[in-house]
Each structure stands twice: as structure tokens, then as C-alpha cells.
């Protein structure tokens, strides 16, 4: 993890080094420090607060390879004023960065086990660094399985990565879409169906889940039906974070603060509040 900032509420200026259109409404920004700073270090699953000066600030998960410390990448969907402004940035433009914040995927708990990663839509972005890390230390794990579901084929993220990962004999990738279109010849249906048939050993596996909350609820139920215990299920929660430092209380989730105690939680810690619709 990066050394905590002396002024955690003060954005550090970065420059846009690259902009990549992932889908019709999703893009990846590659950022590089505007001045002299130490190499960027983070743990898979953490996030940064990104500030478009004059517009506002939003929390965005880090989607880059943890081994690439010269720059950082963030993948996001255009959903509001700040992400709309980010969508217009060009190489050389300035952006503010605070972080990294939050907890990370507990990959060390997967040693000697099958690791199942379940992503829905944009939820693949926070899991992407974990995949890079798992492959970098491939010998520590048994089967590594990615189950990925999107609404349509045009919503699939990181197509080059997925093609490369699928070519690895040490990583199994299964993709499904809710609605087929165009020349799609792959699976059709919700990601839950992938969980029901995925080739992992539930008695010796951990599961990492990120996606829409309703998708995660049903994924957890499917994993439980397969026999994975709550202590081996981990989810990344999204709440509207404002400070990232636990100061404002805006992202309180039951007794927890997502920006500090999360965004990654062991499901056994939050099972009692996860299913409450009003939370």
C-alpha cells in the first residue's frame, strides 16, 4: 500500500497518459504523476478518489496490474457529472488523485485452493488486478476460474485481456450475456448458471465477487448451494463515498465504513446486513 498522505484530503496532481474506450459507455484512464513521486503501489481491490478540478470527485477502483508501478489505471462507466467530465479528458490533461484507500482481495487465503472470481458488468474492473496477481504467482493456487456476465456482448470489458487469459491453460474463463446480439455464439443467461456448473472444488475454494448488488446476492446463494462457506466468500461493496478516509460517515454500511473497512468484505462479516433491502 502507498504511504498514507500527510494530507489525505489533498488531491495529488496527475496527468492523463492514455485514454481507452472499453465499451460504448465505459472507458479506462491511464494516469501518471505530474511531479516526482514514489512508484505507485496498491493492493488489488483498493480504490482512489479521482478529482476533476472544477467539477467534483468520485471513488473509482484501480484496474491496473499491481506490477506496473509507473502509472495507474481506472476503468469507469459514464453515470454522472464527474464521470461525464472524465470522459472528455485527453492525454496531457490534469486530474487529482487521493489514495489508495480501502481493503483488498485476500488472495493469500487462496493458497493451495481453487480461486473463483465472479464478475458482473463493470465489476470485472476491481477484479482485474487480482487476476494479474494470481497469474503472477500461479504456482501458489489450484484452479483459477473467472465467471463473467454482462447484459449484452457489446458490454464486455477488457476484450484483449479476456482473449489472452483464455489462451492460458492455467486460467479458465467462462463468459455469458443476458441477451445475445450480433454474431455472439457464446453462452446466454445470467452468471448464476455459470456458478452452478463451474469446475471447482467447493470444499477447497474461495470466491471473490464484484458486480451489481442483486447479482452478488444470487451469486452468494449459488455458491452456498455448491457448498462454499460464508467465511470463504468475499464481496466488493459499492457505496457513495465522499472522503475516502472515514471522516464524513457518508458510506456507513451497518457498523462499517466502506471506505475504510471495505470495499472488500468477508461475507461472514456482513451477512446479517447484506440481505437487508433498506441498507
pLDDT of residue 207: 98
Domains of the chain: 12-101 (2.40.30.10), 107-236 (3.40.50.80)
∠ CA 49-11-131, nearest 5°, is: 40
Angle between helices 159-167 and 124-136 (to 10 degrees): 30
The pLDDT averaged over each successive group of 10 residues in the chain (279 residues) is 59 94 96 80 95 94 94 95 95 94 97 98 97 96 97 95 88 94 88 94 97 94 96 91 84 88 94 75
Preceding amide of 28 cis, omega within 30: no
For residue 142, CA distances in Å to 119, 145, 158, 173, 225 come to 20, 10, 24, 15, 21
Show Cβ contacts of residue 81 under 8 Å, excluding neighbours closer than 6 positions: 55, 56
- Sheet strand arrangement including 47-52: 56-61, 47-52, 94-101, 12-21, 26-33, 72-77
Amino acid at each position: 500500500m502507498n504511504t498514507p498522505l500527510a494530507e489525505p484530503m489533498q488531491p495529488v496532481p496527475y496527468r492523463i497518459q492514455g485514454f481507452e474506450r472499453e465499451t460504448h459507455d465505459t472507458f479506462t484512464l491511464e494516469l501518471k504523476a505530474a511531479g516526482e513521486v514514489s512508484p505507485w503501489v496498491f493492493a488489488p481491490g483498493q480504490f482512489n478518489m479521482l478529482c476533476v478540478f472544477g467539477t467534483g470527485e468520485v471513488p473509482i477502483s484501480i484496474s491496473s496490474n499491481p506490477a506496473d508501478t509507473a502509472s495507474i489505471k481506472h476503468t469507469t462507466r459514464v453515470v454522472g457529472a464527474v464521470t461525464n467530465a472524465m470522459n472528455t479528458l485527453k492525454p496531457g490533461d490534469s486530474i487529482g488523485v487521493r489514495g489508495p484507500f480501502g481493503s483488498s482481495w485476500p488472495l493469500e487465503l487462496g493458497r493451495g485452493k481453487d480461486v473463483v472470481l465472479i464478475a458482473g458488468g463493470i465489476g470485472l474492473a476491481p477484479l482485474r488486478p487480482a487476476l494479474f496477481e494470481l497469474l503472477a504467482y500461479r504456482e501458489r493456487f489450484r484452479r483459477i476460474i473467472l465467471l463473467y456476465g454482462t447484459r449484452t456482448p457489446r458490454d464486455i470489458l477488457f476484450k484483449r485481456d479476456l482473449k489472452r487469459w483464455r489462451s492460458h491453460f492455467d486460467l479458465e474463463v467462462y463468459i455469458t450475456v443476458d441477451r445475445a446480439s450480433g454474431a455472439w455464439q457464446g453462452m446466454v443467461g445470467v452468471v448464476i448458471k455459470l456458478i452452478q456448473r463451474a469446475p471447482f472444488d467447493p470444499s477447497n475454494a474461495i470466491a471473490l465477487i464484484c458486480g451489481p448488488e442483486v447479482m452478488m446476492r444470487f451469486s452468494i446463494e449459488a455458491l452456498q448451494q455448491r457448498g462454499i462457506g460464508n467465511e470463504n466468500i468475499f464481496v466488493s461493496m459499492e457505496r457513495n463515498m465522499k472522503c475516502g478516509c472515514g471522516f464524513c460517515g457518508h458510506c456507513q454500511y451497518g457498523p462499517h465504513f466502506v471506505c475504510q473497512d471495505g470495499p472488500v468484505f468477508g461475507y461472514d462479516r456482513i451477512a446479517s446486513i447484506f440481505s437487508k433491502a433498506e441498507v
